[in-house]
Structure 1
């Protein structure tokens, strides 16, 4: 917050409120101990406005709707509709225009949903606040808060504005949504360094975060847009959504195709009228037919259907797609940037290590489910046979205020997550809270306070003997201990051993707690701080971590095999991030870069670091956004996952934003393109597989469609060039397009993923849709179709067959060739001359089965003969037609064989 964001008489207030002491804050913001006078609060409210985030400027509904038509795909469809209207095919015109309108409406609805991201952030602001004004405590609308207000916080409150804390009593604030910190943060009033990360500013409480324990007083230093939430809102407002790789490719492809079609049509018209003497009206109709045969009318429809089918398949895999093109974009992802807490990890603190004197115990199981074994050097042990471990576990459960609950098979913790992890540890050893309360009743306690850094409880055991248990920061516990408990009882404290074990455990990214006890009663039968000064026996050091999901470990490995780099960007500490990263095989052997280091890098340096480093810690929303942009500037297609409001800007900027549906904030979900209903990183790998299949199917359709249209166009062009009788009439060309677009091509949208799809490297982000191979395949198959249809037509004309029959054979030759080529198109390189290739997609067989009666009706139905000028064919003539189709099938399979061998030879290199 800058100086002008406060009030007129304290213009010199600094930018970083966390660097000032409480008395300096009161002075700068002119806040009396009894709070602001009501009149002054009204004056400041009038000057600086309400404590709410300003709504963004948005386009009106009409403009938003009209902008949906500004799309190259829709231009192609509208052009096709205009051509069919000129030819009087009003049914085709109506279908195409209906598809245009439906696409525009879908886009209009989706854009409206995307704008809800900003609304979700504004909804995080607390509706009410408790303030002190004129010396009296009162509850007001949080929108009426002003800089300098004195605010009271209690357990369960949502922080209503950015506050500088001036008085704290055991305050812990859940900041995961804002910082990514996996544990509630213990707050104090001390000033910290100016460059301290957001998660380390212990004297601040930020708008939208949640008080989970304790009480505090704080002075408002930021309201509305000047809060950290406001900064994120501003970041979101300024981020322009990027077009997807597929839409960029289709856009370039559409422009190229439109120019090529117009150029060929114009050249053909001039050749026919000026070079061959045809009448302009006749040539105009032929040019229109030529354009109709070349324009891929089916592309927008097949693209929509293919993407929609991908959405359905992803939904069955727990990934809800909110924006249709994101389906395919997932398949082109080269880098996945993932938040740690709750995405790669369980967001459930777990004890993994217990260090006692002479033994280090590993604890199995993850999360809050009390299932897991204790082991030493890989051998499972019975905790009852290790007195020091048993007593340490007893201390962990007794010196504890949390509660462990099971609801419908799901375990959850009420209270501090760290204390919950200790309860789970006790349950694994058979010492539950019920046993503790009945056999070891608590007589008194000293709650945890940040200035003392320990918690103590006083108990009587079943024999009436007194015990005091203490847990807290390891160095604080070491200070009060003179003895240690091992297998043989109490021994003098070996401080060097415990410091060495503490360093070793912390290096593994585990958070440490010390446990100690004293077999004595308090001096006055109730606990005082004087009772926790010395004479204690150290029982254990406990190592706690938020463990990675097992399925996430496998998913990261699958992503690596698929050539996708996985980067962890978290608000947590660097040591913890490195340890989790190592367990997930992310960033092994590489350093972790902190947000503070990112902040001082220029864009060029950040681009280099973003590609080289895989673990980023203590990252703020701005850092996450810059990292995503740096990767995109390097040409990467980036997927970003996250669950907090701090992830929302990066989610919106990424090529694919993936939010967690269970534990994610509404702001993250609304900013994302995909929502995972199971909060599971492994679902992303499955979604990438589906995305690659979608792109494959679109590519297969284009490889099927272009030769089909090209073959028809070449037949017409060849007839005009060589002054031949036209083998196809304009009406017959449109019949072929209608039949193939509505039946055959659609079947490729249902093609299942190929087996090796996740064994490939990601396609290059700048790869053109029409590669050299694509052009070769299109030209080759187009000439094959032209050869079959035109050759059959000329052969029949040479042998005295009627024009109507010869044309009917040419039409059927094109359609039958397309039926055979549809089977070829199931695999781009793999052979289809096996059972799986010929019958593996029942929709291909159904499309061919649907096309056959249509062609029989075209050929033999009197009504169709009257409309299209077709004629009956004999069995021999039908066999000739099938032969023309087989020519395409056999040569296409032979070409695949040659291409496969060439690719193998290229991969092996020179001998």
Structure 2
């Protein structure tokens, strides 16, 4: 194993070479092979795979599954084989789902391996060769060039114009200028500008670097280890449904035991008869259909969410969303588009020009003072855009394998943004170079802070085009263009331009200035001294644009009682600007700053840290471990959190969160595999839509469960009551099982698909302590069970003089139709069925109709009625019994009316 050091950035290069026993010429082949044997391959080791058989068997370790297995065995014993097959199918279905979910963590680790590149350029035996990235070892000297994916963590020994893109690791959207000099030991990882990290990219330039860490000792490798050790919190929904199943199983068992005691010891019914009846009652009362019903509810919710661009990877997440009260979100790629986009162009003595459009897509409009115009109609703007396009080595290319219009960039994002704004104006480098040929070039570097190009133009002769840092270009300029006229750049003009630069910077715009100069025709190459006495043209302001839907989505989240917090690795000024633009900071907090860096909170005592994250909503310069610490602390503080992100730096917090939400288009594999939900459109507003659907799913879960509980309680209560008042059993075991099959099967799926009735986003999140069956619905439960019991008993006693088979037919009819009318009640526990609209859930009406027809067949078909031991009742009586059963619907309406008057 490699010895872990964190000071590679702070010690002199010569000393580091000595520590790693290397040299600028690289390692010898023998030394490299020995190190490979000692340190191992440059890869992230996968956790030893678990035996799939044991993983599958583990899914059966659940209280509910035990109850279902017992129910299946009992059904087999009493020869109810259809019930056995149904229950076994339910058990296997749930075990399969659990088995699939078990592998999610392993997939997250595997996806990290995809970050490692396949090949690398290294110096061995003094020669530059290309080898497999897996064979790189500490001490290797590597050559890094534009477009390369960095193979391992390395310290830069020397570089030229070297910049890297680290957004997936640090959260910063802009490339980082790198250098070789030493920096202080306590410098945060994101500011270690003499280091490069495995899995990040070279945006421009070249560098020679020494490998300091490989495989699991890299920053990415350490993340993989941390990810492996994090246990995903058990979903609150699973806890609630498990508790519900236990409660229902205990009540069912208690009721069945009471039936046996009353029947055998008090009524003296023959043991075999009462035993078989007790078993049948137990099987019918045990919620064997509950897992399937809950899965159906969740699946319907997941389907609806997918239509709103939220793809569910873990079904319970659909209902858990209803309980979320804090959304933690990354900035880059989540709140912003992770694309540098030119949005403003400023010329001296003119109003600013606005540029529309999204990301790298080369379409947009130019407007000034509210009026849209053609860019090439303005000579000064046309000149600025031509300079920006010609003095540029980057481009944006459309992805050929993408169904949507998506682009990817080659080269530096800042230069790519300039190329894209040129395309918006119809200016493309491929056609422009025919009339403006580049003869020489000074590439951008952190030292000079500009790019200069010697261009031979067909109209104006030879000119030097310069694009770079505004303060540098302004200093080098002697003239400026004002409304197409060349003037001396005096102090007044300089001050005005400087104010424009400051104003743009305060709004978190990255600015570049554009200038040029005429040179003699005998000029064939250029140097830095040739870039003095420039003619200043204008300033280009660009930023990673806010996603257009974000501001409204955050407003909706706040109305829905959810707090949104930004956790980013980017700089404080950028985080503050974005937060203000999206409405995340609307008023100052006198207790704490508006934005706090990691170094501001890292050493706070626990209570102070907790108070800080309760009051501050924007944190910047955060490492992945600090994001994880904040998420964990919020959970321990009683919150249920959703975390959104797209990069490797978000993976730890995504996995730890109650609900991890990853971006589907720009998100990394690691982020997606660590999440429960993937946003297929990378739209932050889709999270709020998913929460809305989640609240509807949770409501439907409560109502469907309430319906099942009411059915079971009413059946058992009716049987116990008849035994206590010395009446014959009102229903036989086969009749009870058929009743449950018909009423439950035909009603629960339509109930599960019920649409939301109120604006759930104007309500606060449900409490994580709130169960599926709560105290507030107990009066309604008691009312429904009591009515079903009384109406069934009255009917049974009314027809008993006509014979037991007709009495049971009457009781069966009333019990079935009270349950069907109760299904209408359960569409909403609060709102009248007539306010909802009788025909707004057509699937439920279809289910009720089919169920009613099946009841008629069971009663009136001679063969089937003989199997179930029913005697037909007069048709007019059948119609009257249906009308009688509807009393439960009218009682439910009265209950809702009274309750709503008390609690409007």
**Is TM > 0.5 for Structure 1 vs Structure 2?**
yes
- Structure 2 CA distance for aligned equivalents of residues 712 and 511 of structure 1: 71
Q: Which residue of 1 aligns with 2:213?
A: 222
The within-5 A match list for 1:68-467 is 68-366=59-357, 367-378=359-370, 380=372, 389-405=381-397, 410=406, 412-434=408-430, 436-467=432-463
CA shift, 1:342, in A, is: 2.3
For residues 609 and 795 of structure 1, the distance between their equivalents in structure 2, rounded to whole angstroms, comes to 70
Post-superposition shift, 1:325?
1.7
Question: Which whole-Å CA distance do the structure 1 matches of 2:620 and 2:639 have between them?
Answer: 21
- Kindly state the Cα deviation for residue 219 of structure 1 after the two structures are TM-superposed: 0.7
Separation of aligned partners in 1, 2:65 and 2:696:
24
Match for residue 874 of structure 1? 874
Equivalent residue in structure 2 for 1:468, among 457, 464, 470 = 464
2:487 matches 1:490: yes
3-state SS in 1 of match to 2:566: strand
**Residue 10 of structure 1: aligned partner:** none
Q: Which residue of structure 2 aligns with residue 825 of structure 1?
A: 826
Alpha-carbon separation, structure 1, partners of 2:72 and 2:731: 21
Instruction: Determine the C-alpha separation between the residues in 1 that align with 2:414 and 2:289.
Output: 58
Deviation at 1:309?
Answer: 2.2
1:892 to partner: Cα distance:
0.5
- Paired residue for 2:7? 16
Structure 1 counterpart of 2:897: 897
Map 1:588-603 to 2 at 5 A.
588-589=586-587, 591-603=594-606
| Structure 2: gaps (5+ residues) | 589-593
Q: Which residue of 1 aligns with 2:554?
A: 556
Determine the C-alpha separation between the residues in 2 that align with 1:63 and 1:855: 45
> Offset at 1:379?
5.0
Q: How many aligned residue pairs are there?
A: 891
Offset at residue 445 of structure 1 (A):
1.3
Q: 2:799 aligns to what SS in structure 1?
A: helix
Farther off after superposition, 378-387 or 242-251 = 378-387
CA distance in 2, matches of 1:312, 1:351: 38
Is residue 683 of structure 2 the alignment partner of residue 691 of structure 1?
Answer: no
Q: 1:197 touches 1:595 (CA, 8 Å); kept in 2?
A: no
Q: Which residue of 1 aligns with 2:474?
A: 478
Counterparts of 1:490-509 in structure 2, within 5 Å, are 490-491=487-488, 492-494=490-492, 495-509=494-508
| Cα distance between partner residues in 2 of 1:833 and 1:549 | 41
Cα distance, 1:610 vs structure 2: 3.0
Tell me the CA shift for residue 65 of structure 1.
0.4
Q: Given the superposition, is the C-alpha separation of residues 753 and 768 from structure 1 closer, same or farther in structure 2, using an over 3 Å criterion?
A: same
What does the per-residue CA deviation read over 1:536-570, in whole Å, with 9 as the maximum and x for residues that have no partner? 23332322101112133333333333222222222
Equivalent in the alignment of 1:774? 777
8 Å CA contact 1:453, 1:476 repeated in 2:
yes
> What SS does the corresponding residue of 2:164 show, helix, strand or coil?
strand
3-state SS of paired residue (2:814) = helix
For 1:598 and 1:74, locate their aligned partners in 2 and report how far apart those are by CA, in whole Å. Answer: 46
1:677-711 CA deviation, whole Å, 9 max, x = no partner? 22222322232232222222211211211111111
Aligned residues of 1:318 and 1:678 also touching (Cα < 8 A) = yes
Please, which of 624, 629, 644 is the counterpart of residue 626 of structure 1?
A: 629
**Is 2:725 the counterpart of 1:711?**
no
Aligned-residue offset at 1:763? 0.9
Q: Distance in 1 between matches of 2:140 and 2:811?
A: 85
Supply the distance in 2 between the matched residues of 1:30 and 1:524 (Cα, whole angstroms). 49
SS at match of 2:44: coil
Larger mean CA deviation between 193-202 and 279-288 belongs to 279-288
Q: Give distance in 2, aligned partners of 1:339 and 1:745.
A: 39
SS in 1 for 2:834: coil
Give 1:120 shift: 0.7
Q: Do 2:479 and 2:486's aligned partners in 1 also have CA atoms closer than 8 Å?
A: no
Once the two structures are TM-superposed, the CA of residue 248 in structure 1 deviates from its matched residue by 0.9
**Contact 1:512–1:543 (8 Å) recurs in 2:** yes
Structure 2 residue aligned with 1:585: 583
Residue range with higher mean Cα deviation, 322-331 or 228-237:
322-331
The answer to whether the 8 Å contact 1:551/1:682 transfers is yes
Classify 1:551/1:434 alpha carbon distance in 2 versus 1 (closer, same or farther; 3 Å). Answer: same
Superposition deviation, residue 375 in structure 1 = 4.1
SS of residue matched to 2:858:
helix
Structure 1, gaps ≥5 residues long: 7-12, 905-911
Partners of 2:188 and 2:371 lie apart in 1 by 42
Q: Give yes or no for contact 1:354–1:360 (8 Å, CA) kept in 2.
A: no
Measured on the aligned residues, the alpha-carbon RMSD in Å equals 2.5
8 Å contact 2:104–2:674 — kept in the other structure? Answer: no
Distance 2:530 2:244 in 1: 79
Give, in whole Å, the separation in 1 of the partners of 2:136 and 2:825.
69
CA distance in 1, matches of 2:600, 2:145: 35
Offset from partner CA, 1:544-601 (integer Å, 9 cap, x none): 1011121333333333332222222222222222222222222333512223334334
CA contact (8 A) 1:789 1:884 kept: no
Moved more, 516-525 or 143-152: 516-525
Question: Which residue, 646, 651, 663 being the options, matches 2:654?
Answer: 651
Deviates more, 1:87-96 or 1:588-597: 588-597
The verdict on how the C-alpha distance between 1:850 and 1:336 changes in structure 2, with shifts beyond 3 A counting, is same
Aligned match of 1:758 in 756, 761, 766? 761
SS where residue 46 of structure 1 aligns? Answer: helix
Relative to 1, partners in 2 of residues 1:28 and 1:359: Cα closer, same or farther, differing over 3 Å? farther
Q: Deviations over 1:27-72 (max 9, x none)?
A: 3222222212333333333332222212114431111001111234
The residue aligned with 1:9 is none
Do the aligned residues in 2 keep the contact of 1:359 with 1:376 (CA within 8 Å)? no
Once the two structures are superposed, the pairs formed by residues 780-799 of structure 1 within 5 Å of their partners are: 780-797=783-800
SS in 2 for 1:636: coil
Residues 314 and 677 in structure 2, CA contact (< 8 A), matched pair in contact too: yes
Distance 1:66-1:604 versus aligned 2 partners, 3 A rule: farther
**More moved, 705-714 vs 691-700:** 691-700
Q: Secondary structure at the match of 1:641?
A: strand
Compared CA separation, residues 392 and 434, structure 1 to 2 (3 A): same
Give the Cα separation in 1 of the matches to 2:705 and 2:610. 35
2:886 aligns to what SS in structure 1? helix
CA distance in 2, matches of 1:274, 1:841: 47
Change (3 A) 1:611 1:77: farther
| Structure 2 residue aligned with 1:861 | 861
TM-score when normalising by structure 2: 0.93
TM-aligned CA deviation for residue 90 of structure 1: 1.2
- Other-structure match for 2:849: 849
**1:740 equivalent in structure 2:** 743
What is the alpha-carbon distance in structure 1 between the residues aligned to residue 162 and residue 767 of structure 2? 51
Distance (whole Å) between structure 2 residues aligned to residue 631 and residue 736 of structure 1? 47
Which residue matches 1:814?
Answer: 815
Q: After alignment, is 248-257 or 519-528 more displaced? A: 519-528
Partners of 2:259 and 2:719 within 8 A in 1: no
- The answer to whether structure 1 residue 530 and structure 2 residue 529 are counterparts is yes
SS in 1 for 2:88: helix
Structural mapping, 1:508-527, within 5 Å: 508-521=507-520, 524-527=523-526
Following superposition of structure 1 onto structure 2, how do residues 713-728 of structure 1 map, counting pairs within 5 Å? 713-728=716-731
Find the aligned partners of 1:655 and 1:44 in 2 and give their Cα distance: 42
Separation (CA, whole Å) in 2 of partners of 1:72 and 1:837: 40
TM-score (norm: length of structure 1): 0.93
Quote how far apart the aligned CAs of 1:96 are.
0.7
